[in-house]
Amino acid sequence: MTAVIKTLPTQEQPYARIAVIGGGAWGTALASVAASAGRTVRLFARDPETVAAINTRHVNDKYLDDIPLPASLTATDNLDDALADADAVLLVVPSRSVRAMAARIAGQIKDGTPVAVCTKGIEPKTGYLMSQVVAEEIPHVPVGTISGPTFARETAMGHPTAATVAFEFSHKDRLEPMHSPAARLALSMSTGFFKTYISDDLVGVEIGGAVKNVVAIGCGMMTGAGFAENTRAALITRGLDEMKVLPEALGGRRETVTGLAGTGDLTLTCSSQTSRNMSLGVQLGQGTPRAECFGGAPVVVEGEANAASVIDLARRVKVAMPICETVYSILHEGRDLNAAFADLWTQPIEAEPRAMELSLKNPAHASMTRLDGGAA
């Protein structure tokens, strides 16, 4: 009798060559991770001095101070060189620049080459997620994201970190998930200190990342105004609920937001002023005029711009997001911070969880709330 030999599934191979577009802190950190994982990495940066520093001294002085980078990581200020023969692309530019950069590189990316846009946000006016923006400009490639509770500096230093790699799954991907772009990119980025998880809920992952920045500004505002842990815990918890309802309305899954790209990212961002979003909120809560925040430096805060696009999208799909509405009204409508949060705290009494339909008129009103660190 002939023995039957079972053939085990072949382990899918990681992508060998990765192009990282964007030489800021997060782009450099991700490039460092990929190089540490054994990939051949080319990092595109606009600044010739940054390119020279990475190639000669293996540091990015401008964004990551004296953190040593892998010697195998090379940088270039030439997009053609960065993208040449790339098996995968990480697009790591500010959200306002994603469409323009995607259009710029579209003709240089081979058909089927996965692109992970590692930027959190929602495009103004269109309401598109960053992956949808890229997919519109580069329709011939699969588009996903890498997202999670990650500070660039800690990631580059090699502190244990975890993140989610999310792509939509085709029918073929579901039959052979180990061959999917999400699985292969997760494998490509995995090191002893950077642990990856895989998701097929691109909407849930991206919405979680965009909304948490707005909630973090709100947490910072209340912290800066003198409130402590009770207030922060309430904003984080109820903010998490807002992070669940928006992706659900757009075809995502609520449970995705309980993972790294939702709960994890929100907890990190609302717990440290290392986050620009939290830091901006704290400064505004302390009464610092916006023009004087960050010492007057022109610091890009993604949650500030995204507050408007998040609220626009929520209104279009008829989803209530009272915390994000409050932050938006302060940032973009000039509303008084104390009055805005007083109104938030005296909104109708509702059930928790939402499965229970209940809303009661709140006997408290804004005039009974004193936002000075104590009760009226």
Measured CA to CA in angstroms, residue 8 lies from 5, 11, 188 at distances of 9, 9, 21
Q: Which two tokens stand for residue 173?
A: 């991907």
Flag whether 229 is in a domain.
Answer: yes
- The C-alpha atoms of residue 180 and residue 168 are separated, in whole angstroms, by 9
Q: Determine contact, residues 57/212, Cβ cutoff 8 Å.
A: no
Residues 6+ away with beta carbon under 8 Å from 374: none
Q: Which two tokens stand for residue 107?
A: 């003709």
At 291-311, the pLDDT tens digits run: 999 999 988 899 998 999 999
In which domain, by residue range, is 312 found?
206-368
**164 shares its domain with 298:** no
At 203-244, the pLDDT tens digits run: 999 999 999 999 999 999 999 999 989 999 999 999 999 999
Strands 88-91 and 115-117: parallel
**140 shares its domain with 289:** no
- Of the residues 62, 120, 212, 318, which is catalytic? 212
At 33-77, the pLDDT tens digits run: 999 999 999 999 999 999 999 999 999 999 998 899 999 999 999
Q: Determine contact, residues 32/26, Cβ cutoff 8 Å.
A: no
**167 shares its domain with 280:** no
How far separated are the first and last CA of the chain, in Å rounded?
Answer: 87
**68 shares its domain with 102:** yes
Residues 6+ away with beta carbon under 8 Å from 208: 147, 243, 247, 256, 257, 261, 262, 265, 266
**153 shares its domain with 222:** no
Residues 6+ away with beta carbon under 8 Å from 5: none
> Domain total for the chain?
2
**124 shares its domain with 231:** no
CATH label of the domain that carries residue 126: 3.40.50.720
Q: Determine contact, residues 105/79, Cβ cutoff 8 Å.
A: yes
User: Which segments of the chain does DSSP mark as H helices, in order?
Assistant: 25-36, 48-56, 61-64, 79-83, 98-105, 130-137, 152-156, 171-175, 181-188, 202-224, 229-249, 265-269, 276-285, 302-316, 322-332, 337-345
Flag whether 373 is in a domain.
Answer: no
Burial (CB count <10 Å: 0-12, 13-18, 19+), residue 117: buried
* Domain end position, chosen among 141, 175, 200: 200
* Domain end position, chosen among 182, 200, 218: 200
Secondary structure class of 337 (helix, strand, coil): helix
* Short-list 186, 157, 189, CA closest to 169: 186
> Is 120 labeled as catalytic in the residue annotation?
no
pLDDT per residue as tens, the chain (376 positions): 555 554 445 567 899 999 999 999 999 999 999 999 999 999 999 999 999 999 999 999 999 988 999 999 999 999 999 999 999 999 999 999 999 999 999 999 999 999 999 999 999 999 999 999 999 999 999 999 999 999 999 999 999 999 999 999 999 999 999 999 999 999 999 999 999 999 999 999 999 999 999 999 999 999 999 998 999 999 999 999 999 999 999 999 999 999 999 999 999 999 899 999 999 999 999 999 999 999 999 888 999 989 999 999 999 999 999 999 999 999 999 999 999 999 999 998 888 866 667 778 888 876 666 565 444 4
**165 shares its domain with 266:** no
Q: Which helix (H) or strand (E) holds 116?
A: strand 115-117
Strands 143-147 and 161-167: antiparallel
**229 shares its domain with 292:** yes
